[in-house]
Amino acid sequence: MVREDPVLVISGCLCLALAALVFLGPVLAPQDPAQTNILATNQGISSAHWLGTDDLGRDILSRVLWGARASLVGAAVVAVLGALLGTAIAIISAWYGKWVDSTLMHFANILFAVPAVLIAIVAVAAFGAGLLAPVIALSIAYAPYYARVMRAVALQERTKPYIEANLLAGFTTRRIWLYHFLPNMRPILIAQVTVCYGFALLDLAAISFLGFGVQPPTPEWGRMVSEARTALLNGYPQAALAAGAMIVLAVVSFVVFGERLSARAKRDA
């Protein structure tokens, strides 16, 4: 596989390494991410602080490692919930067709017209800042993207002979969906989840940057970039660069990995 698609392997390894930070980040962090030290503000790289300190004297490396949990877990929830809702819409739409298909696709088009970040901001205004409201809002906003892609796959599966054979055998609709229909859609679905995971991470970082997501003192990459704006303008870019680099690395890794998986799934279909 390495010779066949080295980009897939490299991006996959990066995704695994980033996922490991969710569990190992707090263990690997050398210091308390919330511990301030006004005598050691905006310090450069040293043996005591491998990535330097921010404008409150907090260890940047520790905050980056701890911030992986909120950043990556939140995006994972968005990707999975969006996939569940979008795939359900796609299967129902393809299975029943006619006015059901038309109604669901019109509803999806309406959601397409509204930016995901705007939906999240409205949810925060209604339910308060934090991780829960943006995650639920983004999950709903991402559902149409899944629905569009998975509907095309579901329509292809709907016309295959095994569907008619299962219906003639007396299998219930629920059984056909769960044990025959959905498993054949799985490769494309996994690829789409991976791609959307990268974009969800970027949207959550943007929401936290605006101050609507994870609240202090909990570290989060988007929030770290926001908090480091003043230091960046004053010539101390280390905190903003460290968090920003992690966001870019994570988004690129998951999007590239997902696109490569999608290409392989379509080729093998």
| pLDDT tens-digit series, residues 191-248 | 899 999 999 999 999 999 988 888 888 899 999 999 998 888 888 999 999 999 999 9
- Is the pTM for the entire model greater than 0.85? yes
In terms of CATH, what superfamily is 50-268? MetI-like (1.10.3720.10)
Give the helix ranges, DSSP H, for the chain.
6-28, 60-96, 98-112, 116-127, 132-158, 161-168, 173-176, 182-209, 221-227, 229-233, 238-268
Contacts of 36 (CB under 8 A, 6+ apart): 56, 57, 58
Q: What is residue 269's predicted lDDT score, i.e. its pLDDT?
A: 59
| Percent of the chain residues topping a pLDDT of 70 | 97
**Whether the Cβ atoms of residue 239 and residue 54 lie closer than 8 Å to each other:** yes
Q: Is the pLDDT of residue 12 over 60?
A: yes
Q: What is the pLDDT of residue 3?
A: 58
Strand partners, 59: 53
| Higher per-residue confidence, 167 vs 54 | 54
Q: Is 246 in contact with 68 (CB distance < 8 Å)?
A: yes
Closest CA to 217 of 31, 61, 36: 36
Q: Which of 228, 231, 223 is nearest to 206 (CA)?
A: 223
Nearest to 166 by CA among 97, 98, 95, 99: 95
Domain ranges of the chain: 50-268
pLDDT at 130 over 90: no
* Mean pLDDT across the chain: 88
Residue 96 has pLDDT above 90, yes or no: no
Mean of the pLDDT values across residues 43-71? Answer: 91
- Cα(18)–Cα(221) distance, integer angstroms: 13
> Mean per-residue pLDDT for 99-112?
86
Distance between CA atoms of residues 63 and 72, nearest Å: 14
Position 256 confidence tier, pLDDT thresholds 50, 70, 90 = very high
Report the distance separating Cα 52 and Cα 48, nearest Å. 8
Q: For residue 166, count CB atoms less than 10 angstroms from its CB and return exposed for 0-12, middle for 13-18, buried for 19 or more.
A: middle
Q: Between vectors from CA 127 to CA 33 and to CA 67, what angle results, nearest 5°?
A: 20
pLDDT at residue 238, rounded to an integer: 93
Q: Residue 250 to residues 65, 82, 174, 221, 222: CA-CA distances in angstroms?
A: 13, 19, 37, 11, 12
